[in-house]
Amino acid sequence: MDAVRAAIRDVPDFPKKGILFKDLTPVLAAPALFRQVIDGFAARWRDEGIARIVSVESRGFLFGAPLAYAIDAGLGIVRKPGKLPYQTVRESYDLEYGQDSLELHIDAVSSGERVLIVDDLLATGGTAGAAARLVERQGGTVAGFAFVVELGFLGGRDRLGDRAVQSLITY
């Protein structure tokens, strides 16, 4: 993963002053690096009985869809309120200054399915935790989480309980 790490671009003050954004678009632009990321996820999860990948808007979609294909799993998507066309369940979660919500189609996960939640980056764990609660409300079992990047200094992993967490790169 050294080449993937080297390709990640730091963008200071995005989306607001004081944030150092980890830009993964150079990884997506390089077929060998993108393949390395998907293969890294697939190697970890292929034999874990994952029936469904649930990926989180929007960058999570970029990694969740090819991973679902690679491990022969279905795909569900978590989006911000009002973006999904069918009936949804909603989960609210706390942000540093306020609250936000996510939605999942009511039929995105079947009861008893083993689900892997995929996103590009783990920061404080609020988004991933909300996605997990959505899955569990539909009767799914969260087998684990997969992230390209983890900002370890923010402690997000601790907010995800005792579930398996795969991060390909940790800062």
Structure tokens at 145: 């989480």
Name the phi and psi angles at 44, rounded to 5. Answer: -75, -35
- Residue 90 is among the residues annotated as catalytic for this protein: no
Of the CA atoms within 13 Å of residue 13, those in its CB half-sphere come to: 1
Contacts of 153 (CB under 8 A, 6+ apart): 171
- Residue 136 is among the residues annotated as catalytic for this protein: no
Distance CA 4, CA 97 (A): 32
Of 5, 59, 137, 163, the active-site residue reads 59
Of the CA atoms within 13 Å of residue 100, those in its CB half-sphere come to: 13
Catalytic residues: 59, 96
